[in-house]
């Protein structure tokens, strides 16, 4: 997904806040006799605030089409039982079924591994040296 679409998605999510700021400014002007330039300034400050925060929040609006399990690729884990070649590892506190890369690379309990791929819901791991 392009960065431009994240910008437009972010902008669309800000519109309700802008409407609320506009209504609030209008209410202040007509109910409490606040000068119109202050009421309009509320909306301007609100919009500027949203676009100043965009670089910090941009990543939350980007679409990632990978499966959830694919987000584990590149993450390190620890074998909780021997992988010869199948067994279980712990990644971010969760227990996952795993297969060690290649049939001749046994991993013993307690060794660190790196997730290098997935096969359905099974992680494919490589023993760390």
User: How far is residue 87's CA from residue 89's CA, in Å, rounded to a whole number?
Assistant: 7
76: helix, strand or coil: strand
Digit-coded pLDDT (tens) for 80-102: 999 888 999 999 999 999 998 87
What pTM was computed for the model? Answer: 0.55
Task: List the chain pLDDT tens, one digit each, 129 residues.
Answer: 466 788 999 999 999 999 999 999 999 999 999 999 999 999 999 999 999 999 999 888 888 777 888 889 999 999 999 988 899 999 999 999 999 887 666 788 999 999 999 999 999 999 887
Strand partners, 115: 125
Digit-coded pLDDT (tens) for 60-70: 888 877 788 88
CA 112 to chain centre: 25
């Amino acid at each position: 997904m392009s960065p431009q679409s994240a910008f437009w998605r972010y902008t669309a999510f800000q519109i309700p806040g802008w409407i609320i700021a506009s209504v609030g400014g209008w209410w202040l002007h007509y109910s409490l006799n606040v000068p119109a330039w202050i009421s309009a300034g509320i909306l301007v400050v609100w919009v500027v605030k949203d676009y100043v925060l965009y670089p910090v929040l941009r990543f939350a609006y980007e679409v990632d089409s990978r499966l959830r399990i694919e987000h584990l690729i590149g993450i390190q884990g620890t074998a909780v039982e021997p992988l010869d070649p199948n067994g279980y590892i712990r990644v971010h506190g969760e227990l996952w079924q795993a297969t060690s890369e290649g049939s001749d690379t046994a991993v013993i309990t307690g060794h660190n591994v790196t997730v290098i791929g997935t096969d359905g819901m099974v992680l494919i791991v490589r023993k760390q040296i």
